[in-house]
Amino acid sequence: MDLSYGKEYDEFRAQVRSFLEENWPPQGGASRDDGGRQFRQAAIERGYLYRNIPKRYGGSEQEADSIAAQIIREEFGAKHAPMEIRAIGMMMLVPTLLERAEEWQKEKFVRPTVMGEITWCQGYSEPGSGSDLASLQTRGVLEGDEWVINGQKIWTTSAMEADWMFCLVRTEPDVPKHAGISYLLIPMKQPGIEVRPLKQMNGTAEFNEVFFTDARTPADHIVGQRGEGWLVSRTTLKHERNSIAAAAQAAATFQGLVQFARDTKRGGRPVIEDPLVREQLAILEGYVCAHEYSGLRQFTKDAKGESPGIISMMNKLHSTNIGSMVAKASLEIMGEDGLMDPVQTGLAKLGVIPSGSQAWLNQYMYSLGIAVAGGTANIQRNVIGERGLGLPRDHYANRSSGK
Amino acid sequence: MNFDISEEQELLQETLKQYVENECPPTRIRELFDSGEGWDPTFWKGLVEMGVAGLVVPEEHGGAGLELLDLALAAESLAYGGAPGPFFGHSLACLAISLGGSDAQKAKWLPGLATGEALGSVALGEAGGAWQPEQWEVSGDGSVSGSKICVPHAGRADVIVVGVAGPGLVLVERVASGVEVQPFEGVDRVRPLDTVVFEGAACEALPEGAAAAPRLRDAGLVLLAADAFGSATRLVDMCVEYAKNREQFGVTIGHFQALKHQLSSMALEIEPSRGLYWYAAHAFDHILDESERSAAIAKAHITDRAMQISRDAVEAHGGIGFTWECDVQLWFKRAMFDRAFLGQPSVHRERSAQLAGW
């Protein structure tokens, strides 16, 4: 055990720092947007951003080094310098394209996505296909040199603004469900697509429903072969996985909660003096610390190129369980403030630690959204049980629903 | 950044696991459980030959000179196997003398403790939940008088490190006059406990006892957390194994989602907490200002999780899980020991809250 990054990285950290000294914040009269763009370009040239993206597509093409990546995040974060664009196209689509797409597709889409010039939304979930995603029914039929698409997607973040959608569409209706899906790239600004916002229980609307009525995309805008879409959509980024950030976020949120309990008064005394609240916070801290050290363990394994094992399948559920406990504790702390309407801020504000009862009320509700997104708790338990513990697979999961 | 154990440490864990599996399988643990003997000198002798008795004894006194993390890793592996014997109390006695003893005391006791020729133990608890050094009332001024509860294997120990008012630590030889050992019917029958009544027993104070006493408590908390982690992971493994073999309705019960989810939740409760005891053990030797609090958090969290997992493990086994013949009870009771010894989780949660300035 050694919790320092090691002497060999001191020099690297010093280089990153001196780069930041010189380049951030931008000098002269550059606007924040322009300044940010120039800064990112300079950071790419130095090999600090988009490290896993080849140079010919706009990245800096560095060898995987989790520790270097973590040092960059720490130093950039400390100076609030722009980092990689954390849009879904960057996180989900680009790795898929790099792994699976044809050369012309990479050239057309990767660089502008990396640079933030085009934005994407993800068309996976449907009203009838949540956990059982492979049962999706949005149809794509090839007519001449175009796919014609009909159906509906749901939970589509940023669909209003997005230029393109990467979308799972049923193109082969006569084969078992997993084998009949293709991965299409569809332009969003067209008459056949209608986007309607979906209002959440906390009052904001960050998701949408997307309706396709004879929407079109060119026949060659398919990644992989017809019927390979399921496989293509499973492509994930293995490069410099960031296993520390989420746990650090949980720890910061927990500290915010402790502060909330200090600041809130009941009967003239800080709520943190209430033995029940103290006990709840202390129980929670056990989970938060465990989560943090799990992140460090995985980070170490990644850096060594070893598999972290079952623990990597537990991150989401462990994290959302903590979110749920935080939510419950905050309600206990705020007392009658629990009668208030939550402040209406959404996902974009999640990185910010809540402050004040209304913000904690938003977390109280929003934590449920996070728990459901990307696979419900029960789906996570299936993954841990089947892939982690080696229990027999659920036979329903492989059954074709005949579509 | 290396939040991981070394290859040597992995080897230590593997070797110990293998040793327990071969020399003390559940059938043997059960014999010790049922005979009331709770003691297997041959098994302990084997551990002694592997150097386990002196893991944290400094090299100049014949030990391996390792750190608390190594000791905690050993505790996890021994607990996973359900190992009987004096490892816990003996290791704490070695630590106490190393931390608080004079050169002469170290020279007198440590070599024998390291080779296992002498057996050590620690007398920390007093009636009424007085486990913490500042709560100790037994007097140790010149001689020792008063009662200590839950002293591991006191009847077989050669030397007992006794926590006394002050707080301080004193050495008492078990054969000294004024030392009466009263067996206690403990829940974990492979780690027997005794009540020890002192009446003017001759003692020798550890000169650095005041500083060593809270350190000894913290080391104890870490070892209990590690032990509970080993027990809980063993129980999860046992349940998974059972779910893969037991058939009902024509299939193995692991097919049923209700049970699968229960087992996943159990694994999720314990596996992420491995780093808690690693960190607390590491902090004990390397990050002193976080040592006390991280030990309290690790003990509270892990022993609580292990107890819940023990209950879940009985349920996951169905009717057989509730029987004496089912192995679940062996680790269930180990978890009960780990939870209560040195104070239950709520005690350490309140301590960690105070240490954080809440």
**pLDDT tens-place string over residues A270-305:** 999 999 999 999 999 999 999 999 999 998 998 888
Burial class (CB in 10 A: 0-12, 13-18, 19+), A396: exposed
Q: Closest partner residue to A286 among B1, B243, B297, by Cβ?
A: B297
Which of A9, A294, A389 is the mutation pick for testing B, counting most B CBs within 10 A? Answer: A389
Tokens 């490190």, residue located: B161
Identify the pLDDT of residue A250: 87
Identify the pLDDT of residue A351: 60
* Range(s) of chain A covered by CATH 1.20.140.10: 245-398
Q: How many C-beta atoms lie closer than 10 Å to residue B117's C-beta?
A: 11
pLDDT category of residue A348 using cuts at 50, 70 and 90? very low
Q: Where are the alpha helices (DSSP H) in A101-138?
A: 103-114
Closest by CA position to B134, among listed B143, B124, B146, B149:
B124
Q: Helix B328-340 and helix B26-35: axis angle, to 10°? A: 70
Average pLDDT of the segment spanning B12-36: 95
Chain B residues closer than 8 Å to A303 by CB? 1
Token representation of residue B299: 């003990």
Check whether A375 has a pLDDT greater than 90.
Answer: no
What Cα–Cα distance (Å) separates residue A330 from each residue in A36, A261, B89, B319, B350? 37, 8, 41, 40, 19
Identify the pLDDT of residue A236: 63
pLDDT digits (tens, 9 = 90+) for A145-175: 999 999 999 999 999 999 999 999 999 999 9
Q: Residues 238-277, chain B: which have Cβ within 8 Å of A?
A: 240, 243-244, 251-252, 254-255, 257, 260-261, 263-265, 267-268, 271-276
Closest by CA position to A255, among listed A168, A210, A189, A322:
A322
Burial class (CB in 10 A: 0-12, 13-18, 19+), B271: buried
Q: Closest partner residue to B275 among A261, A296, A303, by Cβ?
A: A296
Distance from C-alpha of B231 to C-alpha of A329, rounded to nearest angstrom: 30
Task: With beta carbons less than 8 A apart as the criterion, state whether A210 and A156 touch.
Answer: yes
Identify the pLDDT of residue B131: 98
Distance from C-alpha of B230 to C-alpha of A290, rounded to nearest angstrom: 16
Chain B residues closer than 8 Å to A5 by CB? 1
Chain A residues closer than 8 Å to B350 by CB? 275, 278-279, 282
Distance from C-alpha of A56 to C-alpha of A2, rounded to nearest angstrom: 38
pLDDT digits (tens, 9 = 90+) for B236-284: 999 999 999 999 999 999 999 999 999 999 999 999 999 999 999 999 9
Of the candidate ranges A344-353, A376-385, B43-52, the one whose mean pLDDT is the lowest: A344-353
Token representation of residue A308: 């972290």
- Asked if A395 is an interface residue toward chain B (Cβ–Cβ < 8 A), one would say yes
Q: What is the dihedral of CA A143, A146, A152, A157, to 10 degrees?
A: 170
pLDDT category of residue A403 using cuts at 50, 70 and 90? very low
Q: Nearest-5° angle of CA A368, CA A370, CA A374?
A: 125
Which of A61, A143, A240, A273 is the catalytic position? A240
- Asked if B233 is an interface residue toward chain A (Cβ–Cβ < 8 A), one would say no
Residue type, B239: C
Average pLDDT of the segment spanning B194-207: 98
Average pLDDT of the segment spanning B340-345: 98
Task: With beta carbons less than 8 A apart as the criterion, state whether B162 and B198 touch.
Answer: yes
Chain A residues closer than 8 Å to B276 by CB? 286, 289-290, 293
Of the candidate ranges A21-30, A202-211, A393-402, the one whose mean pLDDT is the lowest: A393-402
Identify the pLDDT of residue A91: 86
- All residues at 6 or more sequence positions from B112 whose CB lies less than 8 Å from its CB, including other chains: B118, B158
Q: How far is A273 from chain B (nearest CA, A)?
A: 7
More confident: A191 or A302: A191
- Asked if B11 is an interface residue toward chain A (Cβ–Cβ < 8 A), one would say no
Identify the pLDDT of residue A36: 83
Q: Closest partner residue to A282 among B265, B276, B300, by Cβ?
A: B300
- All residues at 6 or more sequence positions from B241 whose CB lies less than 8 Å from its CB, including other chains: none
Tokens 């493990």, residue located: B313
Q: Closest partner residue to A290 among B257, B275, B346, by Cβ?
A: B275
Distance from C-alpha of B265 to C-alpha of A314, rounded to nearest angstrom: 10
Q: Give A395-403 contacts, CB < 8 A, sequence gap 24+.
A: A395/B255, A400/A176, A400/A177, A400/A178, A401/A132, A401/A135, A401/A177, A402/A177, A403/A135, A403/A137, A403/A170, A403/A173, A403/A177, A403/A180
Average pLDDT of the segment spanning A57-65: 91
Which of B264, B291, B303, B352 is the mutation pick for testing A, counting most A CBs within 10 A? Answer: B264
Distance from C-alpha of B85 to C-alpha of B53, rounded to nearest angstrom: 11
- Asked if A294 is an interface residue toward chain B (Cβ–Cβ < 8 A), one would say yes
Check whether B71 has a pLDDT greater than 90.
Answer: yes
Across the interface, whether the CB atoms of A3 and B271 are under 8 A apart is answered no
Token representation of residue A42: 């300079």
Identify the pLDDT of residue A116: 87
Across the interface, whether the CB atoms of A318 and B352 are under 8 A apart is answered no
Of the candidate ranges A140-149, A217-226, A369-378, B77-86, the one whose mean pLDDT is the lowest: A369-378
- CATH class, domain A92-233, is mainly beta
Q: Closest partner residue to A318 among B272, B282, B304, by Cβ?
A: B272
CA nearest to A310 within chain B:
B271
* Range(s) of chain A covered by CATH 2.40.110.10: 92-233
Chain pair A-B, CB pairs under 8 angstroms: 153
Q: Where are the alpha helices (DSSP H) in A24-102?
A: 32-45, 66-78, 88, 94-100
**Average pLDDT score over chain B:** 97
Token representation of residue B35: 């005979």
Catalytic (active site) residue A240:
yes
Distance from C-alpha of B228 to C-alpha of B306, rounded to nearest angstrom: 6
Average pLDDT of the segment spanning B135-161: 97
Chain B residues closer than 8 Å to A389 by CB? 236, 240, 263-264, 267
Which residues share a beta bridge with A217? A147
Distance from C-alpha of A323 to C-alpha of A346, rounded to nearest angstrom: 15
Chain A residues closer than 8 Å to B265 by CB? 381
Check whether A399 has a pLDDT greater than 80.
Answer: no
Average pLDDT of the segment spanning B71-82: 98
Token representation of residue A142: 């090839």
- Asked if A258 is an interface residue toward chain B (Cβ–Cβ < 8 A), one would say yes
Residue type, B192: P
Q: Nearest-5° angle of CA A285, CA A286, CA A288?
A: 60
Token representation of residue B126: 């007093």
Please provide residue B208's backbone torsions phi and psi, each rounded to the nearest 5 degrees: -100, 25
Q: Residues 305-334, chain A: which have Cβ within 8 Å of B?
A: 310-311, 314, 317-318, 321
Q: Residues 84-103, chain A: which have Cβ within 8 Å of B?
A: none
CA nearest to A395 within chain B:
B255
Collapsing DSSP to helix, strand or coil, B118 comes out as coil
Identify the pLDDT of residue B62: 97
**Cα-to-chain-centroid distance, residue B355:** 24
Distance from C-alpha of A138 to C-alpha of A159, rounded to nearest angstrom: 17
Percentage of chain B modeled with pLDDT above 70 = 100
Average pLDDT of the segment spanning B300-322: 97
- Asked if A69 is an interface residue toward chain B (Cβ–Cβ < 8 A), one would say no
Chain B residues closer than 8 Å to A293 by CB? 3, 272, 274-276, 278-279
Identify the pLDDT of residue A387: 93
Buried b (16+ CB within 10 A) or exposed e, A338-365: eeeebbebbbebbeebbeebbbbbbbbe
Complex-level ipTM: 0.96
Average pLDDT of the segment spanning B185-212: 97
* Strand runs labelled E in A91-206: 120-123, 139-143, 146-154, 164-170, 181-187, 193-198
Distance from C-alpha of A378 to C-alpha of A384, rounded to nearest angstrom: 10
Token representation of residue A50: 């988009």
Distance from C-alpha of A279 to C-alpha of A325, rounded to nearest angstrom: 12
Across the interface, whether the CB atoms of B272 and A390 are under 8 A apart is answered no
- Asked if A371 is an interface residue toward chain B (Cβ–Cβ < 8 A), one would say no
Q: How many C-beta atoms lie closer than 10 Å to residue A298's C-beta?
A: 27
Identify the pLDDT of residue B208: 98
Buried b (16+ CB within 10 A) or exposed e, B8-26: ebeebbeebbebbeeebeb
Q: How far apart are the first and last CA of chain B?
A: 30
Task: With beta carbons less than 8 A apart as the criterion, state whether B123 and B151 touch.
Answer: yes
Check whether B138 has a pLDDT greater than 50.
Answer: yes
CATH 1.20.140.10 fits A245-398, yes or no: yes
Average pLDDT of the segment spanning A93-110: 94
- Asked if B282 is an interface residue toward chain A (Cβ–Cβ < 8 A), one would say yes
Q: Residues 38-67, chain A: which have Cβ within 8 Å of B?
A: 67
Task: With beta carbons less than 8 A apart as the criterion, state whether A59 and A25 touch.
Answer: no
Task: With beta carbons less than 8 A apart as the criterion, state whether A53 and A59 touch.
Answer: yes
**Average pLDDT score over chain A:** 90
Average pLDDT of the segment spanning B10-20: 98
Identify the pLDDT of residue A115: 86
Which domains does chain B show, CATH number per domain? 7-115 (1.10.540.10), 120-210 (2.40.110.10), 211-355 (1.20.140.10)
Q: Closest partner residue to A272 among B297, B300, B358, by Cβ?
A: B358
Token representation of residue B288: 């002193």
Buried b (16+ CB within 10 A) or exposed e, B56-89: bbbeebbbbbbbbbbbbbbbbbbbbbbbbbbbbb
Q: How far is A85 from chain B (nearest CA, A)?
A: 26
Task: With beta carbons less than 8 A apart as the criterion, state whether B229 and B210 touch.
Answer: no
- All residues at 6 or more sequence positions from A393 whose CB lies less than 8 Å from its CB, including other chains: A386
Q: Closest partner residue to B273 among A282, A290, A303, by Cβ?
A: A290
- Radius of gyration over every alpha carbon of chain B, rounded to an integer in angstroms: 20
Closest by CA position to A260, among listed A279, A281, A243:
A281
CA nearest to B277 within chain A:
A290
The DSSP call for residue A272 is: G
Collapsing DSSP to helix, strand or coil, A126 comes out as strand
pLDDT digits (tens, 9 = 90+) for A119-144: 999 999 999 999 899 999 999 999 99
Collapsing DSSP to helix, strand or coil, A121 comes out as strand
Across the interface, whether the CB atoms of B260 and A283 are under 8 A apart is answered no
Distance from C-alpha of A364 to C-alpha of A201, rounded to nearest angstrom: 11
pLDDT digits (tens, 9 = 90+) for B96-116: 999 999 999 999 999 999 999
**B76 sits in which H/E element:** helix B68-81
Token representation of residue A134: 């492979």
